[in-house]
């Protein structure tokens, strides 16, 4: 009996193709999972940032006889305290972020949304931040009492067209004649922290 010995020199093209397809599928799954993790990580940073800003605004109120950098403070849109957290628009005397930094609260004066976007309008002349997350602050009355809200857009939370509709009495926000009712749709606001 003759013993026939076959030598196997390598893989066939079919075997190699199957391996490449499997690696491609695994890479696609990993990319989707990584993208979701990145969104959640940025959202965690946003909620932490807003909690830190909240604490500093409350500390500022204690240090400055109740001042929350609101109406007449010279901060925010038209100097009324509301608007983008950090903006260089012409209607902003100073951003709230700058005002807190000048008051000595440098730990929050450096905070920006993890997307790198600061504000709208002239702060973003190229429009690259349009529809991207940014921090906002709103001074208004709620149930006839002063209220301050810190607002953000979380990437992993669904949007709502009514989220900001009942935050302020009559939807009126200091420095914003159009009010806050369109901030959810217009700016994607879907998360808030009430300061006062």
User: What does the pLDDT profile of the chain (196 residues) look like in tens digits?
Assistant: 666 666 667 888 998 999 999 999 999 888 887 777 888 999 999 999 999 999 999 998 898 888 888 878 888 888 888 888 887 777 778 888 888 888 888 888 778 888 877 655 545 555 667 667 788 898 888 999 989 999 998 988 888 888 888 888 888 887 777 777 788 888 888 999 999 7
Distance of alpha carbon 113 from alpha carbon 103, whole angstroms: 21
Element counts in the chain: helices (H) and strands (E): 4, 4
The candidate with the shortest Cα–Cα distance to 96, out of 65, 118, 117, 125, is 118
Residues ≥6 apart with Cβ < 8 Å to 162:
184
What pTM did the predictor assign?
A: 0.77
Distance of alpha carbon 146 from alpha carbon 12, whole angstroms: 74
> How far, in Å, are 15, 37, 105, 131, 155 from residue 34 at the CA level?
29, 5, 35, 22, 14
User: Residue 189's Cα: distance from chain center in Å?
Assistant: 8
């Amino acid at each position: 009996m003759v013993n026939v010995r076959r030598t196997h020199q390598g893989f066939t093209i079919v075997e190699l193709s199957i391996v490449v397809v499997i690696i491609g599928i695994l890479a696609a799954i990993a990319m989707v999972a990584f993208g979701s993790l990145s969104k959640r990580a940025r959202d965690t940073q946003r909620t932490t940032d807003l909690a830190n800003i909240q604490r500093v605004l409350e500390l500022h109120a204690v240090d400055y006889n109740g001042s929350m950098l609101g109406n007449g403070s010279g901060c925010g849109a038209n100097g009324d305290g509301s608007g983008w957290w950090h903006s260089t628009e012409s209607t902003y005397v100073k951003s709230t972020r700058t005002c807190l930094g000048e008051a000595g609260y440098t730990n929050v004066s450096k905070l920006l949304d993890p997307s790198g976007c600061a504000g709208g309008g002239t702060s973003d002349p190229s429009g690259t931040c349009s529809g991207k997350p940014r921090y906002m602050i709103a001074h208004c009355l709620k149930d006839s009492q002063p209220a301050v809200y810190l607002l953000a857009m979380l990437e992993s939370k669904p949007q709502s067209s009514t989220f900001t509709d009942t935050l302020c009495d009559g939807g009126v926000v200091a420095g914003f004649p159009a009010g806050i009712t369109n901030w959810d749709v217009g700016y994607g606001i879907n998360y808030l922290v009430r300061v006062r």
